[in-house]
């Protein structure tokens, strides 16, 4: 209901006030009469489409398949199964994933790397068309990676704002409808107020530019798993980070009904002596979300960040045991692809089995989104943790 009236309410610039000349007013503020500010229009011409895209991605029983590994990172994946990092190999791997029959039953969006957005199958069919046929929204990674943040405590910041508007417009033309930008926050390094502010501000700028060009921004400040801190500390940092993020998103006039979040779950650090159960992780994570995420945001798609495939599914399931004001789902890369890769091994004869493995994981997470998942029958491989200390993505 909100989006119907919303379109009506978001009338274009007829609301401009501020066409009058400066008034001559008494009082100390009259010395420098400021320009009257009109009401900023959020998201401009794409608002309805953004709201619709976000809603589609955030539909029940669905989540995101993240396959936006940069060429270097994809190279690591291929190397782990003895393959060279060549374009044909990357293309073959993504083709395996994106042409999996029935994928659209569980996956509502796929995040691509730039190279992949412009690739086709060996039969010449564009990947974006393969996705659209399955009713899967194509997304695109738009950040340009992390670099050291000067003046911080060995922390990073995320680049990519230069020329982002024109790149986004090009991606939209090619068929992308949502974008993703990943910045990180490190608890062992503080995090410093500077690093948090930079992460939040960068995300806000990226989000505003994305929306201006028709792309729903996925907002991802990943709080890295590294560290030996307890879960309470993760909660504290997450609350601080998200408070800054939402404040700057608002200042940049970002349309909340047209964004998606990609947070880390609130867990103890990877090196903390005690592991937390899915129920504890769910409790802390939902507390954080309830304290920081306005209900206008349609979907929260968690990153897996090094959890095992089964862990990531169990945790998501625990979060969906009662209704939430936003769609709570997944945007997994490693936690959807690990077994697939190992099954494929680069051999064409294994493609079908590998695709089946993808469907198994996708379905499990789909059930978890509905709160109906059970871990019975999961393979040992799926339970293997994938945490890599100091992981550079």
Angstrom distances, CA of residue 81 to CA of 86, 98, 305:
14, 19, 21
- Is residue 82 involved in binding another protein (CB under 8 A)? no
Give the residue, chosen from 13, 19, 21, 34, that forms a contact with another protein under the rule CB under 8 A: 34
Residue 337 in contact with residue 97, Cβ under 8 Å?
yes
Which CB, 74 or 289, lies closer to another protein?
289
Encoded tokens for 272: 């903390």
Region of residue 120 (phi > 0: left; psi between -120 and 50: alpha; otherwise: beta): beta
Site for another protein in 289-328 (CB under 8 A): 289-296, 325-326
117 is written with which tokens?
């957005």
Min CB(12)–another protein separation in Å: 12
Among 220, 248, 222, CA closest to 139: 220
Of 19, 29, 123, 390, the one binding another protein by CB under 8 A: 29
256 binds another protein (CB under 8 A): yes
301 within 8 A of 218, measured Cβ to Cβ: yes
Q: How far is CA 341 from CA 97, 194, 215, 274, 379, in A?
A: 10, 38, 30, 30, 15
Sign of the four-CA dihedral 373, 63, 256, 53: negative
> Closer CB to another protein, residue 255 or residue 360?
255
- Is residue 235 involved in binding another protein (CB under 8 A)? yes
User: Closest CB to another protein among 251 and 277?
Assistant: 251
Q: How far is the CB of 22 from another protein (least distance, A)?
A: 9
Catalytic residue among 262, 309, 311, 378: 262
Residue 15 as a binder of another protein (CB under 8 A): the answer is: yes
> Does 16 help bind another protein (rule: CB under 8 A)?
no
Q: What angle do CA 74, 75, 76 make, to 5 degrees?
A: 90
**How far apart (Å, rounded) are the C-alpha atoms in residues 328 and 244?**
21
Question: How far is Cα 257 from Cα 52, in angstroms, rounded to an integer?
Answer: 9
Shortest distance in whole angstroms from residue 220 CB to another protein: 20
| Helix residue spans in the chain (DSSP H) | 2-9, 47-57, 71-79, 87-98, 114-117, 127-133, 164-174, 193-212, 231-251, 278-292, 309-319, 334-344, 351-369
- Residue 262: active-site member: yes
Judged by CB under 8 A, which of 86, 101, 247, 275 binds another protein? 247
128/255 with CB nearer another protein = 255
Q: Cβ distance 267 to 233 under 8 Å?
A: no
Which of 148/294 has CB closer to another protein? 294
263-292 binders of another protein (CB under 8 A)? 283-284, 287, 289-292
Minimum CB–partner distance for residue 345 and another protein (Å) = 45
231: left (phi over 0), alpha (psi -120 to 50) or beta: alpha
- Interface with another protein, residue 393, by CB under 8 A: no
Compare residues 172 and 246 and give the one whose CB is closer to another protein.
Answer: 246
Q: Which residues bind another protein (CB under 8 A)?
A: 1-2, 5-6, 9, 15, 17-18, 23, 25, 27-29, 33-34, 36-37, 39-40, 232-233, 235-236, 239-240, 243, 246-247, 250-251, 256-257, 283-284, 287, 289-296, 325-326
Task: Catalogue the active-site residues.
Answer: 220, 262
């Amino acid at each position: 209901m909100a989006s119907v009236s919303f379109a009506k309410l978001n009338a274009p610039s007829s609301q401009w006030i501020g066409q009058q000349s400066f008034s001559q007013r008494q009082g100390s503020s009259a010395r420098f009469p400021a320009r009257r500010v009109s009401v900023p229009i959020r998201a401009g011409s794409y608002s309805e489409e953004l709201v619709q895209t976000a809603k589609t991605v955030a539909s029940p029983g669905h989540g995101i398949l993240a396959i936006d590994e940069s060429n270097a990172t994809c190279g690591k994946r291929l190397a782990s199964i003895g393959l060279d990092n060549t374009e044909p190999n990357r293309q073959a791997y993504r083709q395996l994933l994106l042409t999996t029959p029935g994928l659209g039953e569980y996956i509502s969006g796929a995040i691509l790397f730039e190279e992949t957005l412009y690739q086709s199958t060996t039969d010449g069919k564009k990947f974006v068309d393969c996705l659209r046929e399955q009713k899967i929204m194509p997304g695109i990674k738009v950040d340009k990676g992390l670099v050291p943040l000067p003046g911080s405590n060995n922390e990073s910041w995320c680049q990519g704002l230069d020329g982002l508007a024109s790149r986004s417009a090009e991606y939209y033309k090619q068929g992308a409808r949502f974008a993703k930008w990943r910045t990180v926050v490190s608890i062992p390094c503080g995090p410093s107020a500077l690093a948090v502010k930079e992460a939040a501000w960068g995300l806000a700028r990226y989000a505003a530019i994305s929306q201006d060009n028709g792309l729903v921004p996925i907002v991802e400040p990943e709080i890295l798993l590294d560290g030996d801190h307890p879960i309470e500390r993760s909660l504290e940092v997450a609350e601080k980070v998200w408070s800054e993020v939402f404040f700057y998103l608002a200042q940049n006039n970002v349309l909340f009904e047209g964004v998606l979040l990609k947070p880390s779950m609130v867990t103890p650090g990877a090196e903390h002596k005690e592991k937390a159960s899915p129920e504890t992780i769910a409790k802390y994570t939902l507390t954080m979300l309830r304290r920081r995420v306005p209900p206008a945001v349609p979907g929260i798609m968690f990153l897996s960040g090094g959890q095992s495939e089964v862990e990531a599914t169990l945790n998501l399931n625990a979060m969906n045991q009662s209704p939430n004001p936003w769609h709570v789902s997944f945007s997994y890369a490693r936690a959807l692809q690990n077994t697939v890769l190992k099954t494929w091994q680069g051999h064409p004869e294994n493609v079908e089995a590998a695709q089946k493995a993808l469907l198994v994981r996708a379905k499990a997470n789909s059930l978890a989104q509905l709160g109906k998942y059970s871990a019975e029958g999961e393979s040992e491989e799926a339970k293997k943790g994938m945490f890599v200390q100091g992981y550079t993505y």
